[in-house]
Amino acid sequence: MPSSISLMFLPLLLFLLSSASWAAASDHSIEDKFYQCVNLHTDLSIPFHSAFFTPENASFTSVLQSTAMNLRCLGPSRPKPELIFTPLTESQVQAAVICAKELNIHLRVRSGGHDYEGMSYTSATPFPFIMIDLAKLRFINVSIEENSAWAQVGATIGEVYYRISQKSRIHGFPAGLCTSLGIGGHITGGAYGPMMRKYGLGADNVVDARIVDATGRILDRASMGEDLFWAIRGGGGGSFGILLAWKLKLVPVPLTVTVFTVPRTLEQGATKLLYRWQQVADTLDEDLFIRVLISAVNSTDQQGKRTIQTAYQALFLGRANRLLKVMKKGFPELGLTQKDCVEMSWIESVLYIAGYPPTLKPEFLLQRKSFFNKTYFKAKSDFVKEPIPKFALEGIWKRFLQEDSPFTIWNAYGGMMGKIPESEIPFPHRKGRKFMIQWLTAWQSGDKKTADKHIDWIRKLYDSVGPYVSKFPREAYVNYRDLDLGVDKLSGNVNYLKASFWGSSYFKDNFKRLVQVKTKVDPDNFFRHEQSIPTLHSLSEEDEKKMIN
């Protein structure tokens, strides 16, 4: 029988054996120290090759690129992680925070990889960092009896939707339209989707959470307190801790929903029709969500000529016969007919709205991937309070026809979005917004000259529509992160005055409360990135007094 002493030291012996060969090769680098520290703070040793990836590792690039959606952020000029860690358990995430703080290592955290500026897996400034990739934390537990679901942050929203649908055909969750989104980062920005006019945002329907804070503690809603719980639901990712899981409140959906997509080109009166949509979209029945997808396409009337196409895509929480009545009363100008309408289950509508072929089955959502190819892109966002005039729309069309692959999506507001107070959660874009705009341009070449051309185009477009969108501040959606709004150099505390520019655009007056929460829960600014929430320590005494008052 082995002695009790030898048994006591067996876990340490296993850890030393598993790491010895790599440790010898790395000569006690910061990656080596981090690896050893993480193992010492977890119950079971983690073989280096199974969860840790350095740039010298053959799998490093594939892991880095695995869920990264914007190829622009993977270019050779963008700083990449010194190390990628893919934890298997929540306690390993906790250990990573403890060790990173102990070793003074900067962390980036990725759940789904949809960060538009790549802040979760690359950097816009030459500041060394380690990336924590949470893709393996994807457990989902749906309880129809409790009307809720716990979802770890590495799960995609497609997986969450599918697991809910497997338990019930009359329950759903009101989050995003792109099914490969990681639910972790998605909800930290608000999480809008096609049921927001009925139920609000995904973040409005979160009832609990687990998070690792800057001291390495795992906290739930009760232990973190209401201030931090408020901040993480829409206050943007990467500022307050590492989210581990959300507890979602399920919402009722009918057995049968109805969808449609009706295209209209300029030759079919698209400009006049879109102007009318702007007037009524936020006033329609809250069971109806209509978004408009606008692009430049080849004309079917004149060969070799391009035109603008507006496609009205909708989800209606009910059957087609009632939808036709709603449309006849509120938006008859679209000319919706019975043959335009397709009835299906809610989970089938998830695939439809995401743009997937009708042959795909809901099980596709478990593959955790987008059906579409990755591309290089740059995006911006706006919120609109008054209809954009027809002459301004024509100016937008002119600019669109000068660009290779321009695209914009206009999402109707109103309904529940206008009933929830701006300060309920950090996401402030509520009453008075008719619709939200996402501007986007995409390209296929990775060279700088091509990128500069397209980025210059979208910046000029953005400037040109300034008079017709929200002002003071010009509002933006934090999940469509835009570094054109400002960048901090990460050298220490985020500069408050600089941060207030993007902070007010993303959060309006809620930015001040976010700063106060940040100062309370992370006074040393351990969790930070180019557009993170600053602490009060970056303010002068005079500015701090002004902000508090």
Encode pLDDT of 421-475 as tens digits: 999 999 999 999 999 999 999 999 999 999 999 999 999 999 999 999 999 999 9
Classify residue 80: in a domain, yes or no. Answer: yes
Q: Are residues 230 and 307 in the same domain?
A: no
Q: Are residues 52 and 117 in the same domain?
A: yes
Classify residue 15: in a domain, yes or no. Answer: no
CATH code where residue 73 lies: 3.30.43.10
DSSP secondary structure code for residue 540 in this structure? -
**How many domains, in total, are found in the chain?**
4
Q: In a 3-state reduction of DSSP, which class is residue 67?
A: coil
Classify residue 86: in a domain, yes or no. Answer: yes
Q: Tell which of 252, 274, 302 closes a domain.
A: 252
Structural tokens at position 29: 């680098």
Q: Are residues 241 and 288 in the same domain?
A: no
Classify residue 361: in a domain, yes or no. Answer: no
Identify the pLDDT of residue 30. 87
Classify residue 471: in a domain, yes or no. Answer: no
pLDDT in tens, the chain (549 residues): 444 433 344 344 333 334 443 343 344 588 899 999 999 999 888 888 899 999 999 999 999 999 999 999 999 989 999 999 999 999 999 999 999 999 999 999 999 989 999 999 998 888 889 999 999 999 999 999 999 999 999 999 999 999 999 999 999 999 999 999 999 999 999 999 999 999 999 999 999 999 999 999 999 999 999 999 999 999 999 999 999 999 999 999 999 999 999 999 999 999 999 999 999 999 999 999 999 999 999 988 888 899 999 999 999 999 999 999 999 999 999 999 999 999 999 999 999 999 999 999 999 999 987 777 899 999 999 999 999 999 999 999 999 999 999 999 999 999 999 999 999 999 999 999 999 999 999 999 999 999 999 999 999 999 999 999 999 999 999 999 999 999 887 655 567 888 999 999 999 999 999 999 999 999 999 999 999 999 987 665 555 555 555
Q: Are residues 264 and 283 in the same domain?
A: yes
Degrees (nearest 5) of the Cα angle 271, 272, 278? 90
Q: Are residues 223 and 100 in the same domain?
A: no
Q: Are residues 312 and 459 in the same domain?
A: yes
Q: In a 3-state reduction of DSSP, which class is residue 333?
A: helix
Residue 181 phi, psi (nearest 5): -60, 135
Q: Are residues 278 and 129 in the same domain?
A: no
Determine if the pTM surpasses 0.85: yes
Contact present, 465 and 396 (Cβ < 8 Å):
yes
Q: Are residues 312 and 338 in the same domain?
A: yes
Q: Tell which of 224, 252, 280 closes a domain.
A: 252
Classify residue 350: in a domain, yes or no. Answer: no
Name the residue range of residue 126's domain: 30-133
Classify residue 351: in a domain, yes or no. Answer: no
Residue 500 phi, psi (nearest 5): -65, -20
Neighbours of 359 (CB within 10 A): 7
Tell which residue, 205, 120, 143, has the closest CA to residue 424. 205
Classify residue 315: in a domain, yes or no. Answer: yes
Q: Are residues 289 and 405 in the same domain?
A: yes
CATH code where residue 163 lies: 3.30.465.10
Q: Cα separation of 228 and 221, whole Å?
A: 8
Q: Are residues 34 and 115 in the same domain?
A: yes
Q: Are residues 410 and 274 in the same domain?
A: yes
Encode pLDDT of 281-309 as tens digits: 999 999 999 999 999 999 888 888 999 99
Q: Tell which of 87, 108, 133 closes a domain.
A: 133
Q: Are residues 265 and 244 in the same domain?
A: no
